[in-house]
Structure 1
Amino acid sequence: MRALKLHEVSLADRLADRAVDALIDEADLSPKPALVDRRGNGAHTDLHLGLMHASALSLWPMFKEMAEAALEIGEIGLPLREALGRIGREGEQAMLITTNGVNTHRGAIWALGLLTAAAALDPGAVTLNAARLALLNDRHAPQTLSHGALVAQRYGARGAREEAQLGFPSVTQRGLPQLHKSRQQNAGEQNARLDALLAIMTELADTCVLYRAGYAGLTTLQQGAQA
């Protein structure tokens, strides 16, 4: 006789759990060059590990709502894209209230929000559907340029929007292959994840780094990751 299930966990719940777990795992991964980790704040003066955890947890309702919107609407199009934009902006406000105005996860709201909705639509075509969503313009989005967008224009770098529109090639072509390779070589899970991060850093034109340190800083980062 099966045990009585007092609460059935929905797909949206599970996807929200996965998204938040990913953010917390990323923050905890150590040692990460110049980034917040278990050792300290890295190059950030306004961030710390506890704040990253609190921020990630504050986004759980947003990720769940995004998954629910994808399940309810059921197809890629402007209605879903604009629903995700609205939910993302509301999630960003919840994040900023939690962090007292510090931008901890704005980029993650964009990237993981798309991926969460795409996974709800079809777990077998996550990056493809995320890219299709990213290619749609949200008519209600504020007409302001983020630091990343400004830097992308200045340096001709591919920003977060373009990365998503291409189906996250830095992850699928560099990060994940290196992760699988390191796991197969019995590197240990922490080292495999660090290897994947460094593989991405060798080529990614990180707009945050460009904003903070310019092209010289980005070159130093890429060369250091390669080494």
Structure 2
Amino acid sequence: MRDKMNAFCNNISNMAIKSILYEVASSPKPGLVDRHNPGAHKDMDFFTFLSSGSVLGPYFYNCTNIGINFKGQDYTKLLIDIRPIGIKAEEDMFRATGGINTHKGMIFSLGIIAAAAGSLFKENNKKKYTSLTISNRIKLMTKGITEELKGAHNKENLTYGEKLFLKYGFKGIRGEVEDGFISVLKYSLPVFGRLLSEKKYHINDIMVETLIHLMANVEDSNILGRHSIDMLYYSQKQAKKALELGGYLSEEGRSFIKEMDEDFIEKNISPGGAADLLAVTLMLYLIENGDII
């Protein structure tokens, strides 16, 4: 059994790293770091992301292992259990990048997925779990997490998410995980799975197309943090226009998305929240279906 547990932890960790690497490699991504350019970022590039991603494997392994060894039915305590190693993973990331935040959002989101998968493996010893099963376990783990935001007005040192909640009422990634990554289940996973099953498109093109669907529909806290709600609406409008033109799978849509990249760089728009959810999309797909090759 121990060998099976070790193999499962390794497998989930590999899926998380694959999701991180595929996300940054997918190009072009409007305003985001990719193989073509650093997007709306002056302090990081493609190789910064590779440096960061290369040190996170042990973290995802440990999250899965903590999930497997978790005892009890109050899964909110599982989230508490993985928080210390999440902080350690952030320290490893900053050490690898020279103090640059490349993957803080993915450390949080993919770590929760890994722990959820581990806790499910403990119960039924299966290798694969549907996205809905993972989502429901994540809801149990993160139940009440948005309640933390309601006391933000009494705090002095506010987190990024707390500032946005006080300004706009948006719950950000806390709301997303508390709802079991509802945006991924609703907007990106169906698109990703359908395009992959058609076996007509390169994985890069599928990833970019999936990202545009996320950009068109999610409330991206990264854009809000840099700009205003008007800029968020602008980016959503541009993504919807790209989809109306056929998305990255049509010549006209592809050309427009490349123009979007130039426009977002000029306007300093970086849809990092959508990028994180793109990695979540791939990881949930991998856990349910196995590899994509």
Q: Does 1:164 align with 2:177?
A: yes
CA distance in 2, matches of 1:77, 1:193: 32
Q: In structure 1, which of residues 42, 62, 65 is the aligned counterpart of residue 62 of structure 2?
A: 65
Q: Does 1:33 align with 2:14?
A: no
CA distance in 2, matches of 1:160, 1:15: 21
Q: In structure 1, which of residues 114, 130, 133 is the aligned counterpart of residue 141 of structure 2?
A: 133
Opposite residue 98 of structure 1, the aligned amino acid is A
CA distance in 2, matches of 1:189, 1:104: 23
Opposite residue 109 of structure 1, the aligned amino acid is I
| 1:181 positional shift | 3.1
Taking only the aligned residue pairs, the percentage that are identical comes to 26
CA distance in 2, matches of 1:204, 1:21: 23
Unaligned runs of 5+ in 1: 1-7, 138-142
After superposition, the Cα gap between the structure-2 partners of 1:147 and 1:79, relative to the gap in structure 1 and judged at 3 Å, is closer
**Alignment-derived partner of residue 4 in structure 1:** none
**Alignment-derived partner of residue 22 in structure 1:** 19
**Alignment-derived partner of residue 194 in structure 1:** 208
Q: Does 1:147 align with 2:146?
A: no
Find the residue that maps to 1:103 and give its secondary structure: coil
Equivalent residues, number: 215
After superposition, the Cα gap between the structure-2 partners of 1:106 and 1:51, relative to the gap in structure 1 and judged at 3 Å, is same
CA distance in 1, matches of 2:170, 2:144: 20
After superposition, the Cα gap between the structure-2 partners of 1:60 and 1:136, relative to the gap in structure 1 and judged at 3 Å, is farther
Kindly indicate whether structure 1 or structure 2 has the higher relative contact order, using CA contacts under 8 Å at least 6 residues apart. Answer: 2
CA distance in 2, matches of 1:80, 1:135: 11
Report the aligned-residue RMSD: 1.9
CA distance in 2, matches of 1:110, 1:89: 9
Conserved? CA contact 1:149–1:159, under 8 Å:
no
CA distance in 1, matches of 2:227, 2:78: 37
After superposition, the Cα gap between the structure-2 partners of 1:74 and 1:10, relative to the gap in structure 1 and judged at 3 Å, is farther
CA distance in 2, matches of 1:158, 1:187: 35
Greater helix share, structure number: 2
**Structure 1 segments of 4 or more deviating over 4 A?**
none
After superposition, the Cα gap between the structure-2 partners of 1:78 and 1:184, relative to the gap in structure 1 and judged at 3 Å, is closer
- Give the TM-score, by structure 1 length: 0.88
- Give the TM-score, by structure 2 length: 0.69
| 1:217 positional shift | 1.3
**Alignment-derived partner of residue 85 in structure 1:** 83
**What are the superposed Cα offsets for residues 129-152 of structure 1, whole Å, 9 maximum, x if unpaired?**
112212266xxxxx8532233113
CA distance in 1, matches of 2:23, 2:166: 28
**What are the superposed Cα offsets for residues 185-211 of structure 1, whole Å, 9 maximum, x if unpaired?**
534322222111111111211011011
CA distance in 2, matches of 1:29, 1:162: 26
| 1:9 positional shift | 5.6
| 1:182 positional shift | 2.8
Unaligned runs of 5+ in 2: 121-128, 146-154, 242-293
**What are the superposed Cα offsets for residues 138-196 of structure 1, whole Å, 9 maximum, x if unpaired?**
xxxxx853223311331122300110000111111000111123335534322222111
**Alignment-derived partner of residue 203 in structure 1:** 217
Find the residue that maps to 1:73 and give its secondary structure: coil
**Alignment-derived partner of residue 284 in structure 2:** none
CA distance in 2, matches of 1:132, 1:155: 26
**Alignment-derived partner of residue 105 in structure 1:** 103
